[in-house]
Amino acid sequence: MKKLLFTAFMALGISAFAQDVEPVKRMPIFDIHVHTMKVNPAWSSPMCPWFLSDMPGADPNEEAPFFMNQDCVDPLQPAKSDQDMQDEVIKRIKEFNMTMVAFGDAEVLHNWVNAAPAGRIIPGIGFGSPDDISVEAFRDSLESGFYKVVAEVAPQYKGLSPSDPSLDPYFAVAEELGVPVGIHMGTGGNGMANLTQPKYRASLGNPFELEEMLARHPNMKIWVMHAGYPMAEEMIALMGANAYVYLDISGMIWSYPIDEVQWYIKRLIQAGFGKRIMYGTDFMMWPRLFETSMGVVMNAQFLSEDQKRDIMFNNAVRFFRMNKDDFEWPAE
Ligand SMILES: [Zn+2]
């Protein structure tokens, strides 16, 4: 409806948004992994990027280890309130000419969509297990037209493989409706299995766990979130065997040691998959995480300018079947 209205205004030569649209200064970028979360002061803490560079040598008879090292020059500060978070995100969408796929808390998501320039936030709906949402409600949500993407699907935290038969009806709906699906694979922190998420299994994050499900849904378009880190070999083999599988580099790019992150991306590029790597942050609560994460790609000396543009924008536009002309470009 909005689009129709907009088209009608354009036909009349009147821009509905003229008063608050400033010309963009930067090339568009795509962040395909953004969480919409309510600010929770109990969980909020400053964060030093690449904090997992020195894993503690812990013991079950001692106090549980704390992984988030806060000893760095300039820790990223968490947003102070829901409004602060929204303002900081919208400011960056405009400043960095950013489009994002966002998912999580539905109320926060709706607020952001309403506050952002039209089309800049693409809403996703996710689940971990059938307990989270019925297949009927899932289908209704996608058919409502608000949600354009299925994400984040995270069965690993529930002790399930993405190929578990209980999840199959959901993937069948996504395949039928032609909606792309993002699936959490790989790591999701440290000490999950014995400290925080008792059902979590490292082995269920193996990219090979996707194979049977993909075989049952040959036309489904999926991307592997967090690049299946640290299972580069399995990730490469899976993308080799399945022509439509893409990945995102979110989360791992700002949490694991920077040399390790660069090595991992380089390995995927070297294996020939530069057209299937997509940029994402895994943004949760620290506004400056956007700049930090962008810098990992933009400052990478092992990437050509073309490879950077592919990762930051082109690959996602192709993956989501969008049109480059529909994005805002800086004047020549
Ligand atoms: Zn994830």
Helices 106-115 and 82-95, interaxial angle, to 10°? Answer: 40
How does DSSP assign 18-38, residue by residue? GGG-PPP-S--EEEEEEEE--
How high is the pLDDT of residue 196?
85
Q: Nearest-CA neighbor of 162 among 128, 202, 201?
A: 128
- Please, which residues have CB less than 5 A from ligand 1, an ion? 184, 225
Task: Give residue 265 CA to ligand 1 midpoint distance, Å.
Answer: 17
Sequence-distant (6+) residues with CB within 8 A of 22 are 94
Q: Which of helix, strand or coil describes residue 100?
A: strand
Task: Give residue 93 CA to ligand 1 midpoint distance, Å.
Answer: 21
What b-and-e string marks burial along 140-149, b requiring 16 or more CB atoms within 10 Å of the CB? ebbeeeebbb
Q: Mind listing the pLDDT tens digit for each residue in 125-159? A: 999 999 999 999 999 999 999 999 999 999 999 99
| pLDDT-above-90 percentage for the chain | 83
Average pLDDT taken over every residue of the chain: 92
How high is the pLDDT of residue 15?
42
Residue 65 confidence class, pLDDT cut points 50, 70, 90: confident
Average pLDDT over residues 46-55: 92
User: How many beta carbons lie within 10 A of that of residue 90, not counting itself?
Assistant: 18
Task: Give residue 14 CA to ligand 1 midpoint distance, Å.
Answer: 42
Task: Give residue 220 CA to ligand 1 midpoint distance, Å.
Answer: 20
Task: Give residue 241 CA to ligand 1 midpoint distance, Å.
Answer: 23
Q: Nearest-CA neighbor of 287 among 108, 92, 114, 104?
A: 92
Q: Which of helix, strand or coil describes residue 232?
A: helix
Task: Give residue 194 CA to ligand 1 midpoint distance, Å.
Answer: 18
Residue 4 confidence class, pLDDT cut points 50, 70, 90: very low
How high is the pLDDT of residue 9?
39
Q: Mind listing the pLDDT tens digit for each residue in 291-323? A: 999 999 999 999 999 999 999 999 999 999 999
Residue 191 confidence class, pLDDT cut points 50, 70, 90: confident
Q: Mind listing the pLDDT tens digit for each residue in 200-235? A: 999 999 999 999 999 999 999 999 999 999 999 999
Sheet hosting strand 29-36, strand order edge to edge: 29-36, 98-104, 121-127, 149-153, 181-184, 222-225, 246-248, 277-278
Element (H, E) at 104: strand 98-104
Task: Give residue 226 CA to ligand 1 midpoint distance, Å.
Answer: 7
Task: Give residue 17 CA to ligand 1 midpoint distance, Å.
Answer: 35
Q: Mind listing the pLDDT tens digit for each residue in 239-248? A: 999 999 999 9
Domain-by-domain residue ranges, the chain?
24-48+72-324
Task: Give residue 299 CA to ligand 1 midpoint distance, Å.
Answer: 24
The residues pairing with 34 across neighbouring beta strands, listed in sequence order, are 102, 283
How high is the pLDDT of residue 19?
46
CATH T-level topology, domain 24-48+72-324: TIM Barrel (3.20.20)
Distance CA 159, CA 156 (A): 5
User: How many beta carbons lie within 10 A of that of residue 165, not counting itself?
Assistant: 11
Average pLDDT over residues 271-299: 98
Distance CA 274, CA 265 (A): 9
DSSP 256: S
Task: Give residue 200 CA to ligand 1 midpoint distance, Å.
Answer: 13
